């Protein structure tokens, strides 16, 4: 008889316990700011082991590498942690309104052509780093403007063309890279996803692994 990889829900939630003594920092660079929280998981190695039990789907998306998809019920402690963090800045959110997946990349990974150019997402993005890695999330200005609220940008992605190896984007005549939120193990960065950004990393054979959650009800961050 075939067997499922059964995981007890209590065991799952216990492994994803959030540190009850989170230290929340506001980081500011010119007109760009975000929240940074270190030591997010109480036991990060236990949490990562449990997250590795989920399948990772490779190919077919604009971001480099593979991804796992999680419903809000899969990661309740994580999303409740985000709710508590944003409440410190006066923001009320419904944790069930998050869309969450992982980003998994490695040296030589291929992606949709044009995907290395900056893009934008929902206004509240929570990026939880589950590794140590050189690089992070880079932020850019397009013709001097930093967000989709200020200027429209081209869509460089070309889904019908062959995939290409991932390459970091350092800017060109239209784009200026001005800040990078660094990758830091067991830390989470909460930022405005309407700001133009892109992954930026010195990829190796080790996995670049993060859990990224998008808040999608239109509430402003």
Residue 108 — left, alpha, or beta (φ > 0 → left; ψ -120 to 50 → alpha)?
left
Q: What is the dihedral of CA 68, 6, 45, 14, to 10 degrees?
A: 110
CATH T-level fold of 9-215: Jelly Rolls (2.60.120)
- What is the pLDDT, as a whole number, of residue 93? 94
- What is the pLDDT, as a whole number, of residue 221? 44
- What is the pLDDT, as a whole number, of residue 63? 83
- What is the pLDDT, as a whole number, of residue 184? 97
Backbone angles phi, psi at 145, to 5 degrees: -110, 145
* Three-class secondary structure of residue 176 per DSSP: strand
The residues, any chain, with a CB within 8 Å of residue 70's CB and separated by 6 or more, are: 54, 100, 101, 102, 211
Q: What is the pLDDT along the chain (221 residues), one digit of tens a residue?
A: 898 888 899 999 999 999 999 999 999 999 899 999 999 999 999 999 999 999 999 976 788 899 999 999 999 999 999 999 999 999 999 999 999 999 999 999 999 999 999 999 999 999 999 999 999 999 999 999 999 999 999 999 888 888 899 999 999 999 999 999 999 999 999 999 999 999 999 999 999 999 999 998 755 44
For the chain, domain boundaries: 9-215
Which of 185, 188, 194 minimizes the C-alpha distance to 79?
A: 188
Q: Residue 68: how many CB atoms within 10 A of its CB? A: 19
- What is the pLDDT, as a whole number, of residue 180? 98
């Amino acid at each position: 008889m075939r067997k499922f990889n059964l995981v007890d829900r209590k065991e799952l939630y216990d492994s994803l316990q959030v540190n009850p003594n989170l230290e929340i920092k506001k980081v500011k660079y010119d007109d760009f700011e975000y929240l940074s929280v270190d030591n997010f998981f109480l036991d990060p190695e236990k949490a990562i082991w449990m997250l590795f039990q989920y399948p990772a789907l490779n190919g077919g998306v604009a971001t480099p590498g593979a991804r796992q998809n999680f419903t809000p019920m899969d990661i309740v402690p994580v999303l409740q942690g985000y709710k508590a963090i944003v409440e410190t800045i006066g923001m009320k959110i419904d944790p069930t309104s998050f869309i969450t997946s992982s980003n998994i990349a490695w040296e030589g990974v291929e992606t949709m052509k044009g995907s290395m150019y900056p893009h934008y997402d929902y206004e509240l993005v929570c990026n939880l780093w589950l590794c140590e890695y050189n690089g992070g999330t880079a932020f850019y200005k397009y013709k001097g403007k930093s967000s989709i609220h200020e200027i429209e940008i081209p869509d460089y992605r070309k889904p019908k063309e062959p995939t290409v190896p991932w390459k970091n984007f350092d800017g060109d005549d239209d784009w200026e890279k001005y800040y990078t939120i660094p990758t830091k193990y067991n830390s989470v960065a909460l930022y405005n996803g309407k700001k133009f950004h892109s992954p930026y990393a010195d990829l190796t054979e080790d996995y670049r692994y993060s859990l990224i959650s998008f808040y999608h009800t239109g509430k402003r961050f």
